[in-house]
Amino acid sequence: MAVTLVIGAQWGDEGKGRIVDFLAAGAEVVGRFGGGANAGHTVRVGDKTYKLRIVPSGVLAGSKDCIIGPGTVVSLEQFIAELAALSGAGVDVSRVWLSDLAHLILPYHIEQDRASERALGAAALGTTGNGIGPAY
């Protein structure tokens, strides 16, 4: 089986989601190996628009296994909400797999992230405040 990797090298926000969405049509498995729900991406399929943050966009490309791997950080609250929104829109989410080795973002990670940004003031990194850095 051929493997295609999409790797970002710009601290996120490079447009990886759109590329993965394009490539997913020819894939059997679409996975995330790292990162979290910090940026997200919007995918249009026909006349419907989907906003994804943690679930791989391959979920919209038919019967693909979509894996959220052990190097990711996941807020279960966000993950469950995203699955519910997709399911409510008629998307089959039964082939979305979350590794039992994925790191969990807990409420204190989010608070630590936001407190750190506040403390840095003008020198703040500009994180999304979702606890991703502290969870790692």
The full DSSP string for 87-120 is HHTT---TTEEE-TTSEEP-HHHHHHHHHHHHHH
Spatial CA neighbour of 34 closest among 4, 6, 65, 61: 6
* Same-domain check for residues 74 and 117: no
* Same-domain check for residues 94 and 126: no
Structural domain span for residue 44:
1-104
Contact indicator for 104, 72 with CB cutoff of 8 Å: no
**How do the pLDDT tens digits run along the chain, 136 residues long?**
677 777 777 766 677 777 777 888 888 898 888 888 887 888 888 899 999 999 998 899 888 899 999 999 999 999 999 999 999 999 999 999 999 999 999 999 999 999 999 999 999 888 889 999 999 9
**Total number of domains in the chain:** 2
Taking the model in full, what pTM does it have? 0.85
* Same-domain check for residues 14 and 81: yes
Q: What is the CATH number of the domain that holds 30?
A: 3.40.440.10
* Same-domain check for residues 58 and 45: yes
* Same-domain check for residues 74 and 114: no
List the catalytic residues.
13, 41
Three-class SS state of 53: coil
* Same-domain check for residues 80 and 91: yes
